[in-house]
A and B are shown apart, each in its own frame.
Chain A
Amino acid sequence: AAGVIQSPRHLIKEKRETATLKCYPIPRHDTVYWYQQGPGQDPQFLISFYEKMQSDKGSIPDRFSAQQFSDYHSELNMSSLELGDSALYFCASSLVRSGTTDTQYFGPGTRLTVL
């Protein structure tokens, strides 16, 4: 079965540079979530999109922005990168229907290293 696809898998950037992470959800899934997992930490929710509209926002820095496109893929844009942004960034997708409990499926993640 098709899974969530993330690209790139690894990314190395310098401080103050920008980065764009991409996520392709499972086909027919309508909701995308972004999580950040620092070393030795649990994943922290950043932001989510439902049907191309932002649905919830977590601990996402103002330097980061994201969107979901008409084909449901999503991009996380990160500017003015800081050393502390080095982390694993996971995208998850789900199919949200009224009255049901969704299940989120995670992509393999993008490992971002900021030097």
Chain B
Amino acid sequence: RKEVEQDPGPFNVPEGATVAFNCTYSNSASQSFFWYRQDCRKEPKLLMSVYSSGNEDGRFTAQLNRASQYISLLIRDSKLSDSATYLCVVNWGGGSNYKLTFGKGTLLTVNP
């Protein structure tokens, strides 16, 4: 079983739609959680960190449920520029061992 599992996608949605991505992780000792986005052939870019209290950044809302080992990302009012692969990322290192473990990613295409 992969350590970080995501919706396989792809997601094709019209502009203005709301789309939700889900992710589960296997290591209960995981310490920090992120959503990154990756455009084709480019580097992963941090979208937002995810906290137990939930956090929102404009049209993006992330939630973490430690008991269920579940992470979500909600995108409201989708824009064409939101088209990308969304990577659920977990860090369960300690000390200086902050290696990231990535999910396979979910491809989102927002259509005009």
CA distance A51 to B91 in the complex (A): 19
Chain A: minimal CB distance from B8 (Å): 12
Q: Is the CB of B45 within 8 A of A106?
A: yes
Q: Which residues of B contact A107 (CB under 8 A)?
A: 43
> What is the total number of residues of chain B having a CB less than 8 Å from a CB of chain A?
24
Q: Is the CB of B102 within 8 A of A56?
A: no
- Out of A31, A88, A90, A105, name the residue touching B96 (CB < 8 Å): A31
A27 within 8 A of B: no
Known: A42-B87, A42-B105, A101-B49. A50 touches B43 (CB 8 A): no
Q: Which residues of A contact B (CB under 8 A)?
A: 31, 33, 35, 41-45, 48, 50-51, 55-56, 58, 88, 90, 92, 94, 96, 101-109, 111
Known: A42-B87, A88-B41. A103 touches B99 (CB 8 A): no
CA distance A45 to B41 in the complex (A): 18
Q: Is the CB of A103 within 8 A of B46?
A: yes
- Residues of B91-105 contacting chain A, CB below 8 A: 91, 93, 95-105
Q: Which residues of A contact B46 (CB under 8 A)?
A: 103-105
Q: Is the CB of A45 within 8 A of B98?
A: no
Q: Is the CB of A102 within 8 A of B98?
A: yes
Known: A90-B44, A101-B31. A45 touches B97 (CB 8 A): no
Q: Which residues of A contact B21 (CB under 8 A)?
A: none
- Residues of B68-112 contacting chain A, CB below 8 A: 87, 91, 93, 95-105
Closest B residue to A3 using CB positions: B43
Q: Which residues of B contact A90 (CB under 8 A)?
A: 43-44
